[in-house]
Amino acid sequence: MTLANKLTIARLVLIPVLLGVLASSVPWSGLLAAILFVVAAVTDILDGKIARSTHTVTDFGKIFDPIADKLLVLAALLPLTAAGRVHWAVTFIILGRELAISGFRIVAAAKGIPVIAASSLGKLKTVLTDVAIVMMLLEDTLPFLRTWWISDAVMLAAVVLTVVSMMDYFVKNRVAMQ
């Protein structure tokens, strides 16, 4: 098993741990959840870079890396939504985009079109979403993030970029739908 695949598996293992921390009433659980989320997000950055640089891209990585990414975001957004911190429409838009892009990639693959890579807009969307999630997880530790609506502003920017990057993706890859 490659190092990149081990990092993807590590991210998958961190997801239930993150959920457990978010469900607990342990002091500093928001800080701990933010740390776990950042560690998992860093594995997302590293696994792709390592796989490409060492020429060890695998079918496992192609399939499970995006699944792990979506599950990580879902694992953070759902508890934040249930707690009333993230509006359900935000979660719906972010996860809806991910499902739409995944479905689009499956259709393209069925037509023999190679895996459609993420654009720079998609990557920026991921960074903004991850930053917004971390900020919201840290709001109990750093209350000014909520008081000054900083994390809300970053999440709003992430949602806007979510929609824009989805439209950009579909326009740039419309040939796959013909």
What pLDDT does residue 145 have?
87
Residues 6 or more apart whose Cβ sits within 8 Å of residue 177: 104, 107, 170
CA–CA gap between residue 91 and residue 113 (Å, rounded): 30
Burial of 8 (0-12, 13-18, 19+ CB in 10 A): buried
3-state secondary structure at position 143: coil
Q: Please provide the average confidence, as pLDDT, over all residues in the chain.
A: 92
CB burial of 89-114 (b: ≥16 within 10 Å; e: otherwise) equals: ebbebbbebbeebeebbeebeeeeee
Give the residue extent of every domain in the chain. Answer: 3-177
Q: Say yes or no to pLDDT of 87 above 90.
A: yes
- Predicted confidence band of residue 82 (pLDDT cuts 50, 70, 90): very high
Structural domain 3-177, CATH architecture: Up-down Bundle (1.20)
What pLDDT does residue 59 have?
83
Lowest pLDDT segment from 2-16, 17-31, 104-118, 119-133 = 104-118
CA–CA gap between residue 62 and residue 132 (Å, rounded): 26
What is the tens place of the pLDDT at every residue in 37-76?
999 999 998 998 999 999 999 888 888 898 999 999 999 9
What pLDDT does residue 114 have?
77
Overall average pLDDT of the 149-163 stretch: 96
Which string of DSSP letters, residue by residue, matches 25-87?
Answer: --TTHHHHHHHHHHHHHHHHHHHHHHHHHTT---HHHHHHHHHHHHHHHHHHHHHHHHTTSS-
- Predicted confidence band of residue 98 (pLDDT cuts 50, 70, 90): very high
